[in-house]
């Protein structure tokens, strides 16, 4: 791993990148970054963070007016139609975000995209793709904890665009200037929601200071 850059240039978050800097989000993220956080702690915090992030990401979700009865009278009240929302997990680390988000938007549908990196071309190759029906009517939220090189996110969004959904958002926990630049170059209209933009990508494709391999930390595979 490289050493800390002694004079990091101030990074100005570009338009289209939403850093969710709520103190609760930042606190939980800091606890997750610690190398001594156990698998159980890491997973619990990721679950809680995903719920908090869902709150911000769904801020512009449309609502509809319905008639309800309170114990005292009838009123017109607003409700969301969670079924129009599809959470798309980029396997396998994306699954760590699903549970928290689904507890906030239980009506959402779920899709999965599996990609691996071809060792010769270094390009992502799709091995799994399963989505709900009627994607043209749906708003998609793609989830992956780490936006690092951006290759998986770009490939997943390339593929999802073929289904002509109403909208696509991308949600991660952590990214870096290189990941933001790559995704925005390929898909400039896709908003990025993140808890932090870290300093840099290293030569192995890891985010610094980062939190390590998100999949290994979620599933305890290292």
Does residue 146 interact with ligand URA by CB under 6 A? yes
Does residue 148 interact with ligand URA by CB under 6 A? yes
**Which of 41, 44, 117, 199 is the catalytic position?**
117
Which of these, 12, 50, 24, lies nearest to 214 by C-alpha position?
A: 50
Does residue 139 interact with ligand URA by CB under 6 A? no
- Catalytic annotation on 121? yes
**Distant-in-sequence, close-in-space partners of 120: CB < 8 Å, separation ≥ 6:** none
Q: How far is the CB of 216 from ligand URA (least distance, A)?
A: 7
Does residue 206 interact with ligand URA by CB under 6 A? yes
Q: Residue 171 in contact with residue 53, Cβ under 8 Å?
A: yes
Does residue 124 interact with ligand URA by CB under 6 A? no
- Span from 51-59, 65-73, 185-193, 212-220 in contact with ligand URA (CB under 6 A): 212-220
- Catalytic annotation on 117? yes
Looking at residues 76 to 95 of the shown chain, list those that interact with ligand URA (rule: CB under 6 A): 93
- Span from 16-24, 84-92, 183-191, 209-217 in contact with ligand URA (CB under 6 A): 209-217
Which of these, 86, 53, 98, 55, lies nearest to 218 by C-alpha position?
A: 98
CA distance 83 to 12: 36
Q: What is the DSSP letter of 11?
A: P
Does residue 180 interact with ligand URA by CB under 6 A? no
- Catalytic annotation on 92? no
The DSSP result for 136-167, as a single string, is GG-EEEEE-SEESSSHHHHHHHHHHHTT--SE
When the beta carbons of 107 and 220 are compared against ligand URA, the nearer one is: 220
The DSSP result for 50-79, as a single string, is HHHHHHHHTTT--EEEEEEE-SS-EEEEEE
Token pair for residue 6? 């002694």
Number of residues interacting with ligand URA: please give it, by CB under 6 A.
10
Does residue 214 interact with ligand URA by CB under 6 A? yes
Residues with a known catalytic role: 117, 121, 213, 216
Residues that bind ligand URA (CB under 6 A): 93, 146, 148, 205-207, 210, 213-215
């Amino acid at each position: 791993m490289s050493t800390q850059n002694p004079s990091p240039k101030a990074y100005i978050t570009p338009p289209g990148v939403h850093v969710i800097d709520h103190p609760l989000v930042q606190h939980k993220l800091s606890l997750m970054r610690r190398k001594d956080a156990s698998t159980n702690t890491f997973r619990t915090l990721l679950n809680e963070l995903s719920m908090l992030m869902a709150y911000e990401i769904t801020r512009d979700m449309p609502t509809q007016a319905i008639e309800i009865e309170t114990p005292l009278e009838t009123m017109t009240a607003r409700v969301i139609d969670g079924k129009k929302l599809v959470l798309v997990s980029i396997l396998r680390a994306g699954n760590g975000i699903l549970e928290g988000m689904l507890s906030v938007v239980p009506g959402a549908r779920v899709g999965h995209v599996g990609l691996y990196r071809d060792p010769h071309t270094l390009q992502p190759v799709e091995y799994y793709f399963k989505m709900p029906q009627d994607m043209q009517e749906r708003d998609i939220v793609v989830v992956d904890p780490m936006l690092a090189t951006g290759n998986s996110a770009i490939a997943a969004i390339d593929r999802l665009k073929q289904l002509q959904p109403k909208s696509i958002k991308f949600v991660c926990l952590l990214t870096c200037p290189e990941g933001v630049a790559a995704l925005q170059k390929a898909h400039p209209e896709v908003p990025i929601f993140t808890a932090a933009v870290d300093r840099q990508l290293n030569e192995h494709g890891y985010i610094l200071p980062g939190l390590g391999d998100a999949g290994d930390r979620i599933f305890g595979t290292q």
